[in-house]
Amino acid sequence: MARTGWRLLFAEDKLPSTENWPHYLDPLKSAIDLISEEHDVRVMKQWQPQLVEALKALDLPAWRVSQLISDHNDWLYRYVIREALAEMQQQGWGLPPCGFCVLTLGSGARHESLLGPDQDNAMILEDYPPERHLEIDTWFQSLAERFTEKLDYAGIPLCKGHVMARWPLWRKPLREWNEQMRLWSQRRTVKLVQLSNILLDFYPVYGESQLAEEFRQYLLTLMPNAGLFLDEMNALQDETRVALDRFDRLASDGQDAPISLHLI
């Protein structure tokens, strides 16, 4: 997906050069320069509050700050996946045996992350012959375990609900994803709707984004005919509390937010 403006900040594999930036961007320039050299991935994640402070100094709205935190998390995903791939090649695993795409899910995929998200991710594999399943799935299980461990080390914790590509439910070929959603959408079952709610917000963060696009196009043809499933999804949304008080003001739990988080 093409990005413009602020969304270009973390669009490349390397952090942007600030050499010719205008003076009014000095707060952000100072923050970027702190992390411009390659650092341990944990240091990169711990740098995010400094990014937020710089963006606040530029009077960016909260929704844009959240987008850019999410973009930086995507950048961290790409960083650790490249590390994991390099490790596997060095250890004799070789190159990926087929095409693949790593997805972020939920708020991360919507680019609404705050500073403390956990992991929600999945993996779409290119369709391969069933007789190669053990070979190919073992390869990608190793990749998924490696990059999710690296994200955990970085400060994006493992999902306690196991919504990660290291588990078979969230790692499969495109044809199996399509069949899974066809079966799930035929039933008005709360658990399946909840799982679908997690999955249906997805964003391709690494690999062959065409696999994600093909999955999206299949879902667009599937969902209009899943009336009972969508009705249950709507019913679950109606049960979700909105964080507004009786005067339509943002509700509070009575506890002050940390200073660095006031904007988000």
Q: According to the per-residue pLDDT averaged within each range, which of 76-85, 222-231, 241-250 is highest?
A: 76-85
Percent of all residues in the chain with a pLDDT value above 90, rounded to a whole number: 64
Question: Taking 60 as the threshold, does the pLDDT of residue 264 lie above it?
Answer: no
In whole angstroms, what is the distance from residue 41 CA to residue 55 CA? Answer: 21
Question: Taking 60 as the threshold, does the pLDDT of residue 251 lie above it?
Answer: no
In whole angstroms, what is the distance from residue 93 CA to residue 203 CA? Answer: 27
DSSP state of 195: H
Q: How many CB atoms lie within 10 A of CB 20?
A: 5
Q: The pTM is what?
A: 0.85
Taken in order of first residue, the domains within the chain and their CATH numbers are: 5-239 (3.30.460)
Could you read off the pLDDT of 181-227 as tens digits, one per residue? Answer: 998 888 777 888 888 888 989 999 999 999 999 999 999 999 888 87
